[in-house]
Amino acid sequence: MPQAIVNAGSGGLDYDRVALAQALETLPLQAPIVILIHGYKYAPGAPGHCPHDQILAEGGTRKSWKIMSWPRHLGLGRDGLVIAFGWQGTGSIWQAYRNAGAAGRALAGLIEGVGRPVHLFGHSPGARVALSAVANAPAHSIGRVVLIAGAELRSNARAALASPAGRRADVLNVTSRENLPFDLLLECVLGLRGRALGAGLPDLPGWTDLAVDRDTTRDRLRRLGYRIGAPSRRFCHWSLYLRPGLFPLYADVLRGDLPLSRLAAPAPVSLSPLPFAARLSS
């Protein structure tokens, strides 16, 4: 069973419990379990907006430039289990943001029932779903988390990583200035209560920021074997999964083949002024 579908709604989680239990029973212990979480304007079963017919579908045709199959491009179903997690992301931005928090709490219950560490991949408010799950999941239940263009505040991310599950999680926060208008919109909708994840969290343990719009970042990734395309639009909310070369990077992070320590930006070199001052005084 390469992929399972789980949906969160007002009545709780909806999924085939027998099929998921059988898939987990036959899955090798070291095989990754990856939960894919869509973002805004998707909702399970909604005509034209169902994620399981679009970005979370294993196959199918590309009906829009913004749609590509995450499971197919990640390729994780060959050696692990993919769980496509759907939630109510339609309505206003505020409604989607509120629903994302509730969906994450429901997802934490599913993660507890899995009984082994899982990895999370979320876009836009799907990142809020992921962090809400981290904040509410039991200790040692979360492994690696990849957030792309995350629609969440930094304060909530700090709280999530201070939780029992968050203290052991490794989070990759993928950002780009292409997403700046959407970050600003989120901050305004939430009453300017803090900065969005696009601003980064460089001093948070377990957290790695990756600004893929910067030439220096893409140069570092190229040396690691990942050729990431340059931005093609000034502003684009979907570029962090549409940009060529990013999915192989995400797949290796989620599999554990690429440690996040190799993606962290090098620490700035601090040059002491003392030798220069000594020369001036001599």
Per residue in 69-104, pLDDT (tens digit) is 999 999 987 789 999 999 999 999 999 999 999 999
Rounded CA gap, 177 and 213, in Å? 7
Q: What is the pTM of this model?
A: 0.92
Q: Is residue 276 very low, low, confident or very high in pLDDT (cuts 50, 70, 90)?
A: very low
- Cα-to-chain-centroid distance, residue 180: 17
Q: How many domains does the chain have?
A: 1
Instruction: Show Cβ contacts of residue 169 under 8 Å, excluding neighbours closer than 6 positions.
Output: 134, 142, 143, 144, 145, 161, 206
pLDDT above 70 covers a percentage of the chain that reads 93
Asked whether the predicted pLDDT for residue 54 surpasses 50, the reply is yes
Rounded CA gap, 174 and 80, in Å? 23
Rounded CA gap, 186 and 198, in Å? 11
Q: What is the pLDDT of residue 62?
A: 65
For the chain, what is the mean pLDDT?
91
DSSP-derived 3-state class of residue 48 = coil
Q: Which residue type does 15 have?
A: Y
- The CATH number that applies at residue 227 is 3.40.50.1820
Per residue in 232-244, pLDDT (tens digit) is 889 999 999 999 9
| Structure tokens given for 242 | 């549409």
Rounded CA gap, 82 and 84, in Å? 6
Asked whether the predicted pLDDT for residue 254 surpasses 60, the reply is yes
Count of C-beta atoms within a 10 Å radius of residue 174: 28
Q: What is the pLDDT of residue 77?
A: 76
Q: Which residues constitute the domain of residue 223? A: 3-281
